[in-house]
């Protein structure tokens, strides 16, 4: 069941790509992340040129996030206002990130920055989140009470001006931290070529102090906005979106995302976070390994003439 | 007196060409491809094309046949992993020009046995003799009083880079050199098989069929082969490149609609 991809100009096994789309869609729907950091290496491993993999994936991310965000919004688990603020920051950040990336490429340092930011963000975020969530699980097993938060009203949320009410998240905080967070994730997503959900989800929990119930759905809403934007920009500027590849990924992704969104309600928030932390940490370590091990083939062909 | 008469006849009737006369003294090679177009559709899994031909030589001198197939030129961007403070990072990319997107050299015995290094280099015959270079890395300077010396900024590593281009292309099945790729099936009659991988670029390919005697090319024929996308594959490719914004918007609109449709279909109530 091989099928030829007109833009990527390679043949791929169609059922395998659909399954891959479903698997990443499931993870996306369950944890509220786009799953780009999982999908890109797998598509490249299957022989698809990296620029085509990254661009076509944006369509898959948008489709599976759309599929699951509706499921979440029926459960009233999407903070529309917070999502809009994050997305507004994200759009500004994405444009700034594209410029920053071009500047780094001119300096010849883009590769260093990409590799180090992958290693740093994936392993640090994965590690911290794993520790926190395992601690919470252990406490609950032992029946200990949750430790009291030292500062219930941190100054970066409540001390800054431009306060805004977020009724769905039961927050009345300054609009600056979510805007800045959205912009930061936008910059990173432009540089690392991923949606940034794996940064957004823990940041919403630990920095914005959003209730666990609205984090996943709101993150998905922000991901839809940024991934639709990147998908259209990539097609328009680089002509690297392969619609046949996107179609196969979407076919699996939208179904997988439904099951993911459904499954997430069966687990506790800290258990979900522990599994997500483990996935993030493993991918980070795997990428880090590539930086430290001596490669078999020192030369690498890059696609496109740049 | 047969020679001039034949020449007149050929001039008067350009097609079909007359077969070369066995009496003519100069040896001649003739060849054709079984297919002159390869259509790339959704089920494209590569293609096999047979090239067949004949050597006409009244004197029956020992002959060697070399078939060179070049796809459209594709610049190659290459990077090398370097250790920087303990980390393996990609170096600045180097662009090589003059590299064909597909290359195959087939001959009835290894190229090095057929002709000398200089002859092969001049013809670009064999993966080691492809005219690949990195012009952006070159500059011309005067050294030891000698003017116009081409110096590559890659230094002595230049040949490692160049060899890597060929090695990586061979690995993906795009370059191949086969010292037994041409088989003589009968006296003067030969055939060669060309395998196009799925990743073969689209465009016009040129096949040069060369006849060697005593290590020198004495006759040649050129044939072209077109690899083209057809049907839906072509329509999508043209759409994506000619109207990229409408293509991108349509692809994204479809993605969002598919996501919404799935969620509506899975609604439980």
Residues B98 and B180 in one domain: yes
Q: Which residues of B touch A256 (CB under 8 A)?
A: none
- The nearest alpha carbon in chain B to A106 belongs to B92
pLDDT value at position A245? 92
Residues B49 and B132 in one domain: yes
Q: B13 falls in which pLDDT band (50, 70, 90)?
A: very low
Neighbour tally for A146: CB within 10 Å: 8
Q: Are the beta carbons of B40 and A59 separated by less than 8 Å?
A: no
pLDDT digit string, tens, across residues A271-300: 887 888 888 888 888 777 777 777 777 887
Contact B142/A at CB under 8 A: no
Interface size between A and B, measured as CB pairs under 8 A: 183
**Cis amide prior to B65 (ω within 30 degrees):** no
- Asked if residue B244 is part of any domain, the answer here is yes
Residues B253 and B213 in one domain: no
* Averaged pLDDT, A103-112: 68
Contact A71/B at CB under 8 A: yes
Q: What is the mean pLDDT of chain A?
A: 80
Contact A55/B at CB under 8 A: no
Find out whether A77 and A262 touch, Cβ atoms under 8 Å: no
Tell me if residue A236 falls in helix, strand or coil: helix
Residues B58 and B186 in one domain: yes
Q: Kindly give, in sequence order, each residue whose CB lies less than 8 Å from that of residue B106, ignoring residues fewer than 6 positions away.
A: B66, B67, B177, B178, B181, B182, B192, B194
Pairing of strands B103-107, B64-70: antiparallel
Q: Are the beta carbons of A59 and B255 separated by less than 8 Å?
A: yes
Residues B165 and B234 in one domain: no
- Asked if residue A304 is part of any domain, the answer here is no
Find out whether A63 and A24 touch, Cβ atoms under 8 Å: no
Tell me if residue A8 falls in helix, strand or coil: coil
- Asked if residue A20 is part of any domain, the answer here is yes
- Asked if residue B256 is part of any domain, the answer here is yes
DSSP strands (E only) in chain A: 2-5, 10-13, 163-166, 171-174, 299-302
Residues B174 and B51 in one domain: yes
Q: Kindly give, in sequence order, each residue whose CB lies less than 8 Å from that of residue A107, ignoring residues fewer than 6 positions away.
A: none
Mutate to test the interface with A, among B41, B154, B262 (most CBs of A within 10 A): B262
- Asked if residue A305 is part of any domain, the answer here is no
- The residue whose two tokens read 């994405």 is A94
Most confident residue range from A141-155, A208-222, B10-24: A208-222
CATH number assigned to the domain comprising residue B108: 2.60.40.3880
The enclosing H or E element of B51 equals strand B47-56
Contact B75/A at CB under 8 A: yes
Residues B89 and B179 in one domain: yes
- Asked if residue A232 is part of any domain, the answer here is yes
Q: What is the mean pLDDT of chain B?
A: 82
Domain count, chain A: 1
pLDDT value at position B268? 62
How far is B170 from chain A, CA to nearest CA, in Å?
12
Contact A235/B at CB under 8 A: yes
Q: A98 falls in which pLDDT band (50, 70, 90)?
A: confident
Dist CA B116 CA B119 (whole Å): 5
Longest dimension (CA), chain B: 97
pLDDT value at position B19? 52
- Asked if residue B269 is part of any domain, the answer here is no
- Asked if residue B176 is part of any domain, the answer here is yes
Q: Which residues of B touch A301 (CB under 8 A)?
A: 76-78, 168-169
Mutate to test the interface with A, among B136, B238, B251 (most CBs of A within 10 A): B251
Q: A221 falls in which pLDDT band (50, 70, 90)?
A: confident
Q: Kindly give, in sequence order, each residue whose CB lies less than 8 Å from that of residue B16, ignoring residues fewer than 6 positions away.
A: none
Residues B96 and B203 in one domain: yes
Residues B245 and B122 in one domain: no
Residues B121 and B25 in one domain: yes
pLDDT digit string, tens, across residues B203-255: 999 999 999 998 889 999 999 999 988 888 888 888 988 898 999 899 999 99
- Asked if residue A303 is part of any domain, the answer here is no
Q: Are the beta carbons of A258 and B262 separated by less than 8 Å?
A: yes
pLDDT value at position B2? 43
- The residue whose two tokens read 């490719």 is B237
Identify the weakest region by mean pLDDT among A95-104, B7-16, B46-55: B7-16
Closest CA to A222 of A183, A276, A249, A261: A183
Tell me if residue B234 falls in helix, strand or coil: helix
Side-chain half-sphere exposure of B103, counting CA atoms within 13 A: 24
Residue B17 gets which letter from DSSP?
A: P
Q: How far is CA B262 from CA A252, B257, B266, in A?
A: 10, 9, 6
- Asked if residue B11 is part of any domain, the answer here is no
Range of A178's domain? 2-292
Neighbour tally for A185: CB within 10 Å: 28
Dist CA A274 CA B45 (whole Å): 43
Domain count, chain B: 2
Dist CA A35 CA B63 (whole Å): 60
Contact A106/B at CB under 8 A: no
Contact B247/A at CB under 8 A: yes
Closest CA to B154 of B136, B167, B137: B137
Find out whether B201 and B51 touch, Cβ atoms under 8 Å: no
**pTM for this structure?**
0.76
- Asked if residue A137 is part of any domain, the answer here is yes
- Asked if residue A298 is part of any domain, the answer here is no
**For A55-114, what is the HEC assignment?**
HHHHHHHHHHHHHHHHHHHHCCCCCHHHHHHHHHHHHHHHHHHHHHHHHHHHHCCHHHHH
Contact B236/A at CB under 8 A: yes
Residues B238 and B105 in one domain: no
Contact B253/A at CB under 8 A: no
Dist CA B163 CA B91 (whole Å): 17
Pairing of strands B103-107, B175-178: parallel
At B140, list the tokens. 């011309």
- Asked if residue B189 is part of any domain, the answer here is yes
Q: How far is CA A32 from CA A147, A168, B188, B212, B222, in A?
A: 26, 17, 69, 67, 59
pLDDT digit string, tens, across residues B49-105: 999 999 998 888 888 999 999 999 888 888 888 887 777 777 777 888 888 989 999
Range of B134's domain? 21-229
Dist CA B205 CA B225 (whole Å): 5
Q: Which residues of A touch B95 (CB under 8 A)?
A: 305-306
Residues B219 and B245 in one domain: no
């Amino acid at each position: 069941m091989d099928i030829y991809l007109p833009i990527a100009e390679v043949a791929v096994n169609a059922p395998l790509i659909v399954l891959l789309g479903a698997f990443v869609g499931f993870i996306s729907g369950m944890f509220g992340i786009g799953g780009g950091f999982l999908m890109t290496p797998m598509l490249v491993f299957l022989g698809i040129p990296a620029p085509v993999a990254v661009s076509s994936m944006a369509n898959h991310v948008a489709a599976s996030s759309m599929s699951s965000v509706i499921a979440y919004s029926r459960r009233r688990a999407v903070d529309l206002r917070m999502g809009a603020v994050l997305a507004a920051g994200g759009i500004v950040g994405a444009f700034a990130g594209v410029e920053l990336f071009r500047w780094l490429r001119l300096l010849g340092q883009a590769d260093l920055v990409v590799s180090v930011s992958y290693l740093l963000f994936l392993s640090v975020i994965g590690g911290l989140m794993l520790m926190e969530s395992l601690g919470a699980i252990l406490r609950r097993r032992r029946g200990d009470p949750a430790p009291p938060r030292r500062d219930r009203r941190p100054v970066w949320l409540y001390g800054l001006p431009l306060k805004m009410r977020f009724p769905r998240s039961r927050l009345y905080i300054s609009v600056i931290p979510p805007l800045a967070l959205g912009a930061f994730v936008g910059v990173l997503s432009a540089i690392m070529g991923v949606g940034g959900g794996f940064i957004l989800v823990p940041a919403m929990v630990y920095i914005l102090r959003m209730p666990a119930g609205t984090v996943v759905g709101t993150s998905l809403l922000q991901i839809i906005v940024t991934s639709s934007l990147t998908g259209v920009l990539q097609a328009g500027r680089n002509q690297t979106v392969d619609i046949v590849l996107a179609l196969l990924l979407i076919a699996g992704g939208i179904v997988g995302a439904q099951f993911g969104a459904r499954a997430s309600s069966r687990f506790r928030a800290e258990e979900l976070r522990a599994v997500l932390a483990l996935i993030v940490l493993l991918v980070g370590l795997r990428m880090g390994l590539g930086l430290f091990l001596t490669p078999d083939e020192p030369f690498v062909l890059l696609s496109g003439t740049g | 007196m047969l020679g001039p008469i034949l020449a007149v006849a050929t001039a008067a009737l350009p097609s079909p060409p007359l077969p070369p006369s066995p009496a003519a003294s100069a040896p001649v090679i003739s060849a054709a491809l079984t297919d002159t177009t390869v259509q790339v559709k959704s089920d494209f899994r590569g293609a096999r094309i047979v090239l067949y031909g004949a050597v006409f030589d009244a004197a029956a001198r020992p002959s060697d046949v070399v078939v060179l197939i070049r796809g459209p030129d594709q610049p190659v961007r290459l990077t090398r992993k370097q250790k920087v403070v303990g980390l393996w990072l990609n170096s600045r990319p180097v662009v090589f020009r003059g590299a064909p997107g597909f290359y195959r050299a087939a001959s009835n015995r290894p190229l090095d046995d057929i002709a000398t290094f200089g002859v092969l280099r001049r013809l670009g015959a064999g993966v080691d003799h492809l005219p690949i270079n990195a012009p952006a890395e070159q500059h011309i300077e005067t050294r030891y009083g000698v003017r116009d010396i081409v110096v590559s900024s890659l230094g002595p590593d230049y040949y490692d880079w160049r060899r890597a281009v060929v090695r990586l292309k061979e690995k993906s099945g795009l370059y191949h050199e086969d010292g037994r790729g041409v088989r003589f099936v009968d006296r003067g009659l030969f055939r060669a098989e060309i395998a196009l991988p799925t990743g073969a670029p689209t465009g016009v390919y040129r096949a040069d069929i060369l006849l060697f005697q005593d290590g020198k090319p004495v006759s040649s024929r050129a044939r072209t082969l077109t690899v083209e996308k057809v049907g839906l594959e072509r329509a999508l490719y043209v759409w994506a490149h000619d109207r990229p914004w409408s293509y991108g918007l349509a692809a994204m609109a479809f993605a969002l609609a598919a996501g919404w449709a799935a969620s509506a279909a899975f609604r439980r109530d």
